[in-house]
A = this chain, B = another copy of it.
Amino acid sequence: MKKPKGGLSGTLESYLELIHELQTQYGAVRVTDLADRMGCKTPSATSALRRLAHLGLINYEAYRPVTLTRDGKAAIRRMSAGHRILADLFTTVLGLPAELAEPEACALEHRISPTLLARIGTLMDFLHGPPGGTELRDALQQRFAKYLASAEGQERGGPKASA
């Protein structure tokens, strides 16, 4: 996870994905939105755009609308599988609402090893598929939800400042 295989850092992957999302959702990619959503200032977003362009993943020219290149689209397709798997884990197993699961998946997908991701994928296949997982999944969900509700509001006693 140290060496971005395709020369694409986790941060840049996030930018790229966000570009795709904004593009399909709003039709356009505004640098301000990009910065907002990434939690940074506009110059950082601009610089990310330049780096992405330099890597051949987007078409970028100053003050022009941004578009994805074929390579860029391919990269996104490659990445989004991981995103789905994680979001699935978070909602299905951990019982997180989609509004929480999504950003968490977003934040983690670029930092998790392919090995681990593959294994999680297998688990989710198992939990969804007929081979035998579905009842188990339902039982887990129902009983964990109940457990959560009972432990309500004190989520593991507060693992943050335990020291």
Q: Which residues of A pack against B, CB within 8 Å?
A: 1-2, 39, 74-75, 77-78, 81-82, 85, 90, 93-96, 100, 104, 107-108, 111-123, 125-126, 131-133, 136, 139-140, 143-144, 146-148, 150-151, 155-157, 159-163
Closest to A129 in B: B147
Q: What would be 19 A-B contacts, judged by CB atoms less than 8 Å apart?
A: A77-B161, A78-B162, A81-B159, A81-B160, A81-B161, A93-B123, A95-B119, A96-B116, A108-B111, A108-B112, A114-B160, A121-B159, A121-B160, A122-B151, A126-B148, A131-B147, A132-B146, A133-B143, A136-B139
* Given A100-B115, A133-B144, 6 further pairs, Cβ under 8 A: A77-B161, A82-B159, A117-B159, A121-B160, A125-B157, A132-B146
